[in-house]
Amino acid sequence: MTCPRKTRALADSIIQQMDDVGVWQRDFLLDLFDLWLCLHGRYNFTHLARYGKKNESTYRNNFAKSFGFFQFNVYLVKQHLSKDTVIAFDPSYITKSGKCTDGVGRFYSGSAGQVKWGMEASGLAAVDLQNKVALHLDMVQTVGRHESETLLGYYASTIIARKDRLQSISKHLAVDAYFSRHPFVDQLVAEGFEVITRLRKDAKIRYIYRGPKENRRGRPRQFDGYVDVRSLRPDVFTPCAVDEDDKWIAYQAVVNVEALKRQVVLVVVHDLDGDGKVSGHRLYISTDMKLDGGEVLPIYQCRFQQEFLYRDAKQELGLEHCQAYSWQKNDYHFNVALTVGSLAKVAYHLKGPGQPLGSFSIADIKQRHMNEYQARRILSLCPIHLDEGLIRKLLPQISNFGLRDYKRA
């Protein structure tokens, strides 16, 4: 099967499982997904019309309509990722210089390390812990937040609004250290999620008192002093993971985090210098008390796979190129870019259960699609049938022109 047909067949198989998707919308989406993997340059309505089969107003009007990208991606994840999957959540800064776009304002940019003018969108992804691969689920622009609502509360409500479908994939939610705060964690745990995150290095952590009941008046003793993360009590903390190169060692224990006001599974990672002495430390927690400390660390580390989705979408798939004013069109644009990236990853990177992962370069995949797309458009104007033997033989060679990893026979 040739390149465009491979991703098109995959997308079509998912859309057929969805309700309320008409024939015209189905054909529009399939053509749009094909076109998105072919474009070079700006991803805007003018450029889509230049290379696509529709005019500019058709693309503008359809981007204002709703489509269940979240439902589409949930089907994709369930069919192509393993059962050992967690949910990752991370807001992403989107470059925008204008002042008339819905939701534009000042947001924190992680890459710049400062607050900048632009937009923000919160992304949800499913991360396969076995294959260390992330697939996009949904992206929601930060817009319409009430003045009395905190940003953490807005993020929590965004996740909770999608909890049924998210929890059908996994109840474990991996987030970065910004979210290790009492209101956010409490809201999600109350809704059935288990949060895996990282703590600040100076977080106040208390040992839980497990001694005999003291014969004194007042409230029973709950805590047994603060944890010194550089000098752990061996009767409480046990080793749970060791680096193969002896660069770090991890310890686990059930403790109380003062800022979160709850008991958690704490994993303390001691970074070791050349002499085996502790040179630094990292703190990870899980609200799931049944989770082993040796599982907490890889779950949090795999969260970074979501960043690769953002990287590919921003560098190659035009995530930041939308020139629409309305949040509906921006939301559609964000989700098309990330969904197309996931389709490409499933089609070319995931080989199937028990099979090794293939190499993945979104730039090469786009080059293949562009080569074949242009060849088919040109040949369709000639009195030549595209299914002729010679054409079928030449198309794979045409598709490989300009690839970074292409080796001629």
126 in a domain, yes or no?
Answer: yes
Specify the pTM: 0.88
Question: Do 264 and 215 belong to one domain?
Answer: yes
Do 312 and 362 meet the contact criterion of CB atoms below 8 Å apart?
Answer: yes
CA distance 330 to 109: 19
Burial class of 352 by CB neighbour count within 10 A (0 to 12, 13 to 18, 19+): exposed
Question: Do 88 and 173 belong to one domain?
Answer: yes
Question: Do 226 and 259 belong to one domain?
Answer: yes
pLDDT recorded at residue 371: 82
Question: Do 189 and 311 belong to one domain?
Answer: yes
Question: Do 79 and 164 belong to one domain?
Answer: yes
Do 85 and 127 meet the contact criterion of CB atoms below 8 Å apart?
Answer: yes
pLDDT recorded at residue 274: 84
336 in a domain, yes or no?
Answer: no
Question: Do 189 and 122 belong to one domain?
Answer: yes
- β pairing state of 133-141 and 223-226: unpaired
Burial class of 113 by CB neighbour count within 10 A (0 to 12, 13 to 18, 19+): exposed
338 in a domain, yes or no?
Answer: no
Do 177 and 260 meet the contact criterion of CB atoms below 8 Å apart?
Answer: no
CA distance 298 to 291: 12
Question: Do 366 and 392 belong to one domain?
Answer: yes
CATH at 314: 3.30.420
- β pairing state of 205-208 and 248-257: antiparallel
Question: Do 110 and 235 belong to one domain?
Answer: no
Number of domains in the chain: 3
150 in a domain, yes or no?
Answer: yes
pLDDT recorded at residue 376: 75
Question: Do 127 and 267 belong to one domain?
Answer: no
pLDDT recorded at residue 4: 63
345 in a domain, yes or no?
Answer: no
Residues of the domain holding 174: 69-198+304-323
377 in a domain, yes or no?
Answer: yes
DSSP secondary structure of 351-364:
--TTSPPPP--HHH
294 in a domain, yes or no?
Answer: no
Question: Do 46 and 169 belong to one domain?
Answer: no
pLDDT recorded at residue 409: 37
Q: How confident is the prediction along the chain (409 residues), in pLDDT tens digits per residue?
A: 555 678 899 999 999 999 889 999 999 999 999 999 988 889 999 999 998 889 999 999 999 999 999 999 999 999 999 899 999 999 999 998 888 899 899 999 988 889 999 999 999 999 999 989 999 999 999 998 888 889 999 999 999 999 999 999 999 999 999 999 999 999 999 999 999 999 998 899 999 998 888 777 778 888 899 999 999 999 999 999 998 888 999 999 999 999 999 999 999 999 999 888 999 999 999 999 999 999 999 999 999 999 999 999 999 999 999 989 999 999 999 999 999 999 999 988 887 655 667 778 888 888 888 888 777 777 777 776 666 666 666 666 666 666 666 554 3
C-alpha dist (Å) from residue 333 to 63, 299, 318: 7, 29, 9
158 Cβ contact partners less than 8 Å away, ≥ 6 residues apart: 122, 140
